[in-house]
Chains A and B, each alone.
Chain A
């Protein structure tokens, strides 16, 4: 029995708002709703504020929570897209190389920035990281995809195995880059491997947000075609879907948003596995509902996970990937176990 759509989406939205407010409120410094409001009023009137609480809210907590929510939405939608594309529920960006490739691309910029300072300091400088991440993510995804493809068809076992290998290459590349980095600002290998939102800035919120809106909008427009693809490529072709065009556009859009998010927050595994799995149980496999619901639930769950990362070991903070992996890895094993027996291609 499925819940009524309107009620389901309303409840999910309400929960998301509550979690966002809680995530802003709780932390090393407690911020009251009144302070949030007055800070927003000050910001709106372009006035400077002296209150430390308002500054923590505007410069630290708000960008962090927003970046986290946007990233959660990206990773969850990405899971829906990749699973729809590969017709398999055990695929997500952390498992088939996209995130690791993006992290490698981004870490190159950090390590090599001393050698390319004129470019790096130019106006395009800040965009070098997401652009390199996109190139890395696209290369990794493309390599995994073409190596796993056998006789025009992608089987899931080669996909996961090749994904593992490309992940290893991507992450050792990251390791090498952090090792040779001279820049004291270069990010640590833990950052890339397990992710964190501790460095969130407004610039990152804007870039990730705009990329997310564009990419998710484009993929939502393809939701009907993705539904038809559930029947397989041949049947989708019979129903008028130009499969290769659809696959290319989804892969590019998906890689773009995952890479940009990864370049700012590191590799966060398993989000793309957890959210679509739970949602399919609740509302079914219709991508026209699954994509919007994934935006909400991805944002909700990753924000919760980040709260956990900040609060569980307070005053110190742990990488968010630890929390998503603790929840996601067992689910991954469960899904592998469940699908290997009724899917002839695993």
Chain B
């Protein structure tokens, strides 16, 4: 569980996040949605510990204040898939994925680390890429490599230990098959000690995966709740400024947006 109380973030005089309070529960799929520049990525960075000069309080399970959370311990239990990550030097795909195990070994990786790397690479169909130079991959392939790296970071979960997965627009550059795969892998990790927070752009994907949906606009939380209960044409008009029709999915009954 992650709790944020009255968090604000400014860059210069520009207000990026404006006194937001919210709570993300473990075991469910929490997705954030909102127009460009609404502060979604900033919120992910702030909650995951990449930003320091914010106002308000963020606490992780067991009332651990994010600002005083030990950096090593945090890295061993919290992973973040960022929007864009580039490498300046040639590296093999398996070497990039292994970087995700950094918080778990001292200088040389152990057998367990290597096994986990193989496991997550298989999950994302990367085994045939293992010895390829990362820099020669396409955008979608690179995204899969980074997802594998991020999964490797928090793959094992000792009993009773909390873990946190942040996904900042994970579906960029992915074809529809991998969009589905990415989110179903994330959902499959969920349990009572695993908290998942993601940002997605495709509203229909958000509606079909989210257990809790958070609408962000101009740095403020507009509305949050179970999609079926909160999403209507008025809300979408006010957040995205679009006119929509809402239907029920024929088999799941979840809402679908049609323009």
B85-A232 in contact (CB<8A) = yes
The A-B contact count (CB < 8 A) is: 72
B86-A232 in contact (CB<8A) = yes
Q: Complex Cα distance A315/B64, Å? A: 73
Among B74, B75, B95, B107, the residue within 8 A (CB) of A224 is B107
B79-A238 in contact (CB<8A) = yes
Among B76, B85, B92, the residue within 8 A (CB) of A231 is B85
Q: How does the 8 Å CB contact mask read for A168-192 relative to B, with 1 for contact and 0 for none?
A: 0000000000000000000000000
- Smallest CB separation, B89 vs chain A (Å): 4
> Which stretch, A17-25, A100-108, A135-143, A282-290, touches the partner chain B?
A282-290
A284-B90 in contact (CB<8A) = yes
**A223 / chain B contacts, CB cutoff of 8 Å:** 107
A231-B50 in contact (CB<8A) = no
Residues of B within 8 A of A (CB): 45, 48-50, 71-72, 74-76, 78-80, 82, 85-92, 95-96, 99-100, 102-103, 107-108, 153
A284-B102 in contact (CB<8A) = no
A231-B87 in contact (CB<8A) = yes
**A83 / chain B contacts, CB cutoff of 8 Å:** 89
A240-B90 in contact (CB<8A) = no
B88-A237 in contact (CB<8A) = no
**B86 / chain A contacts, CB cutoff of 8 Å:** 232
B75-A240 in contact (CB<8A) = yes
- Smallest CB separation, A233 vs chain B (Å): 10
Given A89-B88, A285-B91 in contact, is the A239-B75 Cβ separation under 8 Å? Answer: yes
Q: Complex Cα distance A288/B85, Å? A: 22
Q: List 25 A-B contacts (CB under 8 A).
A: A83-B89, A87-B88, A88-B88, A89-B89, A221-B107, A228-B102, A230-B89, A234-B45, A235-B82, A237-B49, A238-B49, A238-B50, A238-B78, A238-B79, A239-B102, A239-B153, A240-B72, A240-B75, A240-B102, A240-B103, A242-B71, A284-B95, A285-B89, A286-B91, A286-B95
Among A227, A238, A280, the residue within 8 A (CB) of B90 is A280
7 interchain residue pairs of minimum CB distance: A240-B75, A285-B89, A87-B88, A240-B103, A239-B102, A238-B80, A240-B72
- Smallest CB separation, B79 vs chain A (Å): 7
Given A232-B85, A232-B86, A234-B82 in contact, is the A239-B91 Cβ separation under 8 Å? Answer: no
Given A231-B85, A239-B153 in contact, is the A285-B71 Cβ separation under 8 Å? Answer: no
- Smallest CB separation, A275 vs chain B (Å): 14
A237-B50 in contact (CB<8A) = yes
Among B75, B87, B91, B107, the residue within 8 A (CB) of A238 is B75
**A235 / chain B contacts, CB cutoff of 8 Å:** 82, 85
Q: Complex Cα distance A250/B80, Å? A: 26
**A154 / chain B contacts, CB cutoff of 8 Å:** none
Q: Complex Cα distance A89/B82, Å? A: 24
Given A240-B74, A240-B102 in contact, is the A230-B87 Cβ separation under 8 Å? Answer: yes
Among A88, A221, A241, A343, the residue within 8 A (CB) of B102 is A241
Given contacts A228-B102, A284-B92, A285-B95, 17 further A-B contacts (CB under 8 A): A89-B88, A223-B107, A224-B107, A225-B102, A230-B91, A231-B87, A232-B85, A234-B45, A237-B50, A238-B75, A239-B102, A240-B71, A240-B74, A242-B71, A280-B89, A285-B89, A286-B95
- Count of A interface residues, CB-CB < 8 Å: 27
- Smallest CB separation, B226 vs chain A (Å): 30
Q: Complex Cα distance A286/B75, Å? A: 21
Q: How does the 8 Å CB contact mask read for A73-95 relative to B, with 1 for contact and 0 for none?
A: 00000000001000111000000
**A288 / chain B contacts, CB cutoff of 8 Å:** 107-108
Who on chain B is nearest to A86 by CB? B88
B88-A284 in contact (CB<8A) = no
Instruction: Enumerate A189-233 residues with CB–CB distance to B below 8 Å.
Output: 221, 223-225, 227-228, 230-232
Who on chain B is nearest to A342 by CB? B135
Q: Complex Cα distance A282/B100, Å? A: 24
Who on chain B is nearest to A84 by CB? B89
Q: Complex Cα distance A80/B76, Å? A: 28
**A285 / chain B contacts, CB cutoff of 8 Å:** 89-91, 95
Who on chain A is nearest to B87 by CB? A230
B90-A343 in contact (CB<8A) = no
Who on chain A is nearest to B103 by CB? A240
Q: Complex Cα distance A227/B74, Å? A: 19
- Smallest CB separation, A253 vs chain B (Å): 18
Q: Complex Cα distance A87/B85, Å? A: 13
Q: Residue among A225, A227, A280 with the most chain B CB within 10 A?
A: A227
A343-B99 in contact (CB<8A) = no
Q: Complex Cα distance A227/B96, Å? A: 9
B102-A224 in contact (CB<8A) = yes
Who on chain A is nearest to B73 by CB? A240
B103-A239 in contact (CB<8A) = yes
Q: Complex Cα distance A230/B135, Å? A: 13
